[in-house]
A and B are shown apart, each in its own frame.
Chain A
């Protein structure tokens, strides 16, 4: 049997590609480990006893896993109630933010007017203001509107806070939708609203999901607005409740803090798990020929 042998140069190129691919995977694994480390360490800490936490040689896995930290966290703080508050505020803020950002992104991309350009630049500039510059004026405005110590008030702040970035994200996705599809819809008799609803929005689905996730996670993790704007214990959100495990000068009740933090990450993970398949679907493939 005589087989055709690959030329030496091709074999070398193939080998180099193999090594290159292995290096890529190794780098990817290192990056994943880097990203996963804090979460894994948090989970491990949540199951360690105070004595194990005080050990000078910390271990990856708890030697004597315990649920005491979770029991203590639930006994000391209203975690469930705070989580519901966070879900309500962050969820509502994310939905409203995206609902506003979609038509705004479409308008600023498709109608290139001076006002639209100025608005886009202003949105970008508004991101440059540090939090400390806006918190007091914002507090004043909300007070006049009787929205201090109010969950809708906090939700409104989160909408304003996440809207600029949501708008910028969606502008990129809208630009990627071929205008020819909209023109085809127009030839078929669709008006602007119908085109947006029936043609553009379905094609924007991955972008909508990504923006929704971003807005939700930003609002879920936000701490300072929630700390300053909410006073009533029954209205406080998860990020504020977590700080109740911290003392002065950096002291912390580490075990219960880690346990509560693990619980606080679950809704975000769940949200990601539910929506991530929409994130990877490429709906535009094959939409336009030629």
Chain B
């Protein structure tokens, strides 16, 4: 992320006019490069199969599958955009659209999106890819956060398994975690939950929505975004700190870990409930010991918050078209093909994430209770654009200000006042240098 900030700065001072298109210019039918970031075995298979299917059906526009990687994708794209050699169709995530959309690297799809595709995806989901009135990507997969719990430990503690219609409140969740925690020493020590906070900023912003907070507030007039940290904004962060520092129902050691890193402790019964992204089910399914009984629960809801406290922020996966692409209509036709309802169902299954297509969400393959699909699908209706989306300067604010401040707060090194002062005062200085 630090490199991202530096690279963006270098670009700001580089004024080289570059023209051209991602795919090499050739005579004959246009050929488009599709940069895919699919990485799980099933997902790669589905993406490749759909590209083959497209090429078999289309004699006029051929698409070449280019395998990308989430690792360093921002820097890779930025360099290839600047050098005029980016792929024509780009798979990425909503957070990146801000820099690339405002930077003029992505095509505005507003007039290109077919009416049928526009109808398939709810308007609030389009908001995740809309910046300053322009649409820079088609959101096709989205990932809510859920609770994944050890069913045996819940039953032993007499905790009732909830469903989407009757999710716990955050207060109830704290009570449950206290009941599930076990204060014996050594390996017998058990925590009600664990908060893997390797990326503390996105989690804090997205889940602040459950209490009606946002932390980052965009200026509708196009001015710099504002950081605020009122009671609703800080309620989620305070809860995590309370569990780690005060109640001892979540281990401090897990704060520096990623979602996958806490799974061994979950399988061993050290953590009873994990708040994780929905797609971690795939890893759990693959790695869980034989007979391990796990269940997916909805994320707890905020009290007295809009949307019944069910709202949470997401940065969806998107398909965009490079601004340098000479065949935008053809690229859009391919995106329309990839995001047709049956294809979105296949892509969702491959990536273990809910699709954005409202009809695809009701497909029997996804609305099943098996592997917790129905719980995640039920949350899809409450997903909103992450507060980070469309905020210029977010990467710098996140890297330099918010990440270290939140890490210190969650570990108990600083208090709420100090966190608020850093996030707001220092943060607003950073954001003031950017205009939306």
Interface residues of A (CB under 8 A from B): 50-51, 53-58, 72, 76, 130, 132-133, 135-137, 139-140, 143, 148-149, 223-224, 227-228, 231-233, 236, 240, 243-253
Neighbouring A residues of B75 by C-beta, 8 Å: 132, 135, 224, 228
> Told that A135-B7, A231-B33 touch, could you supply 8 new A-B pairs with CB distance under 8 A?
A50-B287, A53-B287, A54-B287, A135-B79, A139-B80, A227-B76, A244-B39, A252-B260
Q: List 26 A-B contacts (CB under 8 A).
A: A51-B287, A54-B287, A54-B288, A55-B267, A55-B268, A133-B6, A136-B7, A136-B83, A143-B18, A143-B83, A143-B85, A148-B85, A224-B72, A228-B80, A231-B85, A231-B87, A243-B69, A244-B69, A246-B39, A246-B70, A249-B198, A249-B199, A249-B258, A251-B260, A251-B280, A251-B283
Q: Is the CB of B83 within 8 A of A246?
A: no
Q: Is the CB of A54 within 8 A of B264?
A: yes
Could you give, for residues 69-108 of chain B, a 1 whenever the CB lies within 8 Å of some chain A CB and a 0 otherwise? 1111001100110111101000001000000000000000
CA of A249 to CA of B286, assembled, Å:
18
Q: Is the CB of A136 within 8 A of B11?
A: yes
* Residue with the highest number of chain B CB atoms closer than 10 Å, among A72, A137, A224, A251: A251
Q: Is the CB of B84 within 8 A of A246?
A: no
Using A143-B84, A249-B277 as known contacts, say yes or no to A132 and B258 having CB atoms under 8 A apart: no
User: Which residues, 1 to 35 on B, are CB-close (under 8 Å) to A?
Assistant: 3, 6-7, 10-11, 14, 16, 18, 33
**B290 adjacent to chain A (CB < 8 Å):** yes
For B93, give its contact among A132, A148, A243, A248 (CB under 8 Å). A248
CA of A224 to CA of B10, assembled, Å:
17
CA of A130 to CA of B11, assembled, Å:
14
* Residue with the highest number of chain A CB atoms closer than 10 Å, among B10, B71, B85, B267: B71
CA of A232 to CA of B65, assembled, Å:
9
CA of A245 to CA of B258, assembled, Å:
16
**B171 adjacent to chain A (CB < 8 Å):** no
For B71, give its contact among A137, A139, A246 (CB under 8 Å). A246
Neighbouring B residues of A140 by C-beta, 8 Å: 16, 18, 82-83
Q: Is the CB of B69 within 8 A of A56?
A: no
Neighbouring B residues of A233 by C-beta, 8 Å: 65-67
User: Which residues, 277 to 300 on B, are CB-close (under 8 Å) to A?
Assistant: 277, 279-280, 283, 286-290
Chain B proximity of A52: nearest CB distance (Å): 9
Chain A proximity of B268: nearest CB distance (Å): 4
Q: Is the CB of A136 within 8 A of B289?
A: no
Could you give, for residues 234-273 of chain B, a 1 whenever the CB lies within 8 Å of some chain A CB and a 0 otherwise? 0000000000000000000000001110011101101000
Chain B proximity of A24: nearest CB distance (Å): 37
A-B contact count (CB 8 A): 122
Chain A proximity of B269: nearest CB distance (Å): 9
Q: Is the CB of B260 within 8 A of A250?
A: yes
Residue of A nearest to B78 (CB): A136
Q: Is the CB of B83 within 8 A of A139?
A: yes
Neighbouring A residues of B67 by C-beta, 8 Å: 233, 236, 244
Q: Is the CB of B41 within 8 A of A227?
A: no
Neighbouring A residues of B368 by C-beta, 8 Å: none
Using A54-B263, A72-B41, A136-B79 as known contacts, say yes or no to A246 and B69 having CB atoms under 8 A apart: yes
Secondary structure call for the B interface: mixed
Q: Is the CB of A130 within 8 A of B6?
A: yes
CA of A260 to CA of B70, assembled, Å:
18
Neighbouring B residues of A227 by C-beta, 8 Å: 69, 72, 76
Q: Is the CB of B44 within 8 A of A76?
A: yes
Residue of B nearest to A146 (CB): B24
**B231 adjacent to chain A (CB < 8 Å):** no
User: Which residues, 302 to 343 on B, are CB-close (under 8 Å) to A?
Assistant: none
Residue of A nearest to B69 (CB): A243
Neighbouring B residues of A236 by C-beta, 8 Å: 67
CA of A34 to CA of B259, assembled, Å:
28
Q: Is the CB of A56 within 8 A of B283?
A: no
Neighbouring A residues of B11 by C-beta, 8 Å: 136
Q: Is the CB of B85 within 8 A of A136?
A: no
For A76, give its contact among B41, B85, B277, B290 (CB under 8 Å). B41
Neighbouring B residues of A130 by C-beta, 8 Å: 6
Neighbouring B residues of A224 by C-beta, 8 Å: 72, 75
CA of A228 to CA of B332, assembled, Å:
25
**B40 adjacent to chain A (CB < 8 Å):** yes
Q: Is the CB of B287 within 8 A of A253?
A: no
For B258, give its contact among A54, A223, A250 (CB under 8 Å). A250
Neighbouring A residues of B18 by C-beta, 8 Å: 140, 143
Chain B proximity of A132: nearest CB distance (Å): 5
Neighbouring B residues of A55 by C-beta, 8 Å: 264, 267-268, 289
Neighbouring A residues of B3 by C-beta, 8 Å: 132
Neighbouring B residues of A148 by C-beta, 8 Å: 83, 85
Chain B proximity of A133: nearest CB distance (Å): 6
Neighbouring B residues of A243 by C-beta, 8 Å: 69-72
Neighbouring A residues of B76 by C-beta, 8 Å: 227-228
Neighbouring B residues of A54 by C-beta, 8 Å: 263-264, 267, 283, 286-289
Chain A proximity of B256: nearest CB distance (Å): 11
Chain A proximity of B289: nearest CB distance (Å): 6
Q: Which 6 A-B pairs have the closest CB atoms?
A: A54-B287, A56-B268, A243-B69, A139-B83, A250-B258, A56-B264
CA of A148 to CA of B10, assembled, Å:
20
